[in-house]
Amino acid sequence: MNIALLGFGTVGSHFYKMAQEHSELNISAVLSRRPRPELACTVTADFDEIVRDGSIDTVVEVIGGVEPAYSYITAAMRAGKHVVTANKQLMCAHYEDLLSLAKECGVRLRCTAAAGGGIPWLTSLARVEKMDEIDAVEGILNGTTNFMLSAMTANGADYGAVLREAQALGYAEADPTADVEGLDARRKLVLSANLAFGVSVQEADIPCVGISHITAADIDKAKEWGYTFKLIARAERAQRAGAVAAFVCPTLFPVSAPEAHTDGTGNLVSLYARRIGKQSFSGAGAGGFPTASNVLADCFAVMAGCESYYTDKAAPCAVDNSTAASRWLFRRNGQYEFAECSAEEAFARCDADLQSDPCALLARVADTDQKEE
């Protein structure tokens, strides 16, 4: 397999190192804006050079962001090259597009590293979807916020302090919005729900509450009640045919739940299927080697002749949270208040500005009966 690697950041450089150990993988070109004399292969800033190189059969994209990644991988597919990407933002933004282009061009498209870091999550979902009916998927899919909530829970620190700590450790970016407001988790949820239910949901249709409004006092109060805060992305079949319920929000778990014990930057994600029951997967949700390992596994799958994408099914699908009932915790004028309602109602009660009283949606209360099945 002759690979062109687009991007040489954390994931790219770790993938490069791992790929070097496999003689069947040959990285023949790296797309990089700056010269990299340390690399033995062609280094170019000109993507056209890569597209024109007929000896390159597979493009590995780890640049991130929608453009220029979208232009690159569509050009690569049109040139008959397989694509492996770790780019969740791109996969969410152009899901149906990219799947049909891969099919049309007769090439393979994989994105296992886009959700769950090094966990074989998307592949496991695709595997179960082929033989069972998946009712729900949910989990801790963002390492940054899990690190922050774990630190707040462990030592009583406030949000601002743990954010600075996460930034100092390289777990959070200078602009932490995508992580702390749940947008990163939501993108991973889109890909998970799409595979689990054979649909294509729109990122913007999924209500999303992050963790930036959670205070040390909230964490303390939850502890008093025997709960631990986790940021959870969840999707389930809606009662309305052809729709799914999906949302991202802080969630309260009792200490007996495995989610409550998933600390640091770890991810833990579960599927609930009719026949197989619940299956959970946990491990490093980010980091150079874990993420690169899923990129590498995708390359092996492409080499082994996997299908065009994980699934053929990508029917456009509405998000309908009107029947996803739960118990919810609100904070209104500084007072805590539990209510039973649908996710649709819960998010509707929540102001656009979550920092502001009178009505902040604090958390969903996890349905632990389901967990203990």
Q: Which is nearer to its own copies, 41 or 303 (CB)?
A: 303
Whole-number Å distance between alpha carbons of 1 and 337: 58
Alpha helices in the chain (DSSP H): 10-20, 47-52, 69-78, 88-93, 95-105, 121-129, 143-155, 159-168, 177-180, 183-197, 216-224, 288-303, 343-349, 368-371
Whole-number Å distance between alpha carbons of 32 and 98: 24
Q: Is residue 319 a contact partner of residue 206, using CB atoms and an 8 Å limit? A: yes
Q: Choosing from 188, 223, 230, 278, which is the catalytic residue? A: 188
Please tell me whether the peptide bond between 207 and the residue prior to it is cis, using omega within 30 degrees of 0.
no
Q: Is residue 56 a contact partner of residue 29, using CB atoms and an 8 Å limit? A: yes
Give the CA count within 13 Å in the CB-facing half-sphere of 83.
34
Q: Which is nearer to its own copies, 221 or 278 (CB)?
A: 278
Whole-number Å distance between alpha carbons of 264 and 267: 9
To its own copies, the closest distance from the beta carbon of 164 in angstroms equals 23
Q: Which is nearer to its own copies, 31 or 125 (CB)?
A: 125
Residue 174 tokens read as: 């200078």
To its own copies, the closest distance from the beta carbon of 285 in angstroms equals 10
To its own copies, the closest distance from the beta carbon of 301 in angstroms equals 10
Radius of gyration over alpha carbons of the chain, in Å?
Answer: 21
Whole-number Å distance between alpha carbons of 179 and 173: 8
Residues in touch with its own copies (CB under 8 A):
18, 21-22, 118-120, 124, 127-128, 130-132, 255-258, 261, 263, 275-284, 287, 289-290, 293, 296-297, 300, 304-306, 372
Comparing CA positions, the residue from 106, 103, 88, 136 lying closest to residue 313 is 103
Assess whether 188 carries a catalytic annotation: yes
To its own copies, the closest distance from the beta carbon of 273 in angstroms equals 9
To its own copies, the closest distance from the beta carbon of 189 in angstroms equals 21
Q: Which is nearer to its own copies, 200 or 308 (CB)?
A: 308
Q: Which is nearer to its own copies, 124 or 342 (CB)?
A: 124
Active site residues: 188
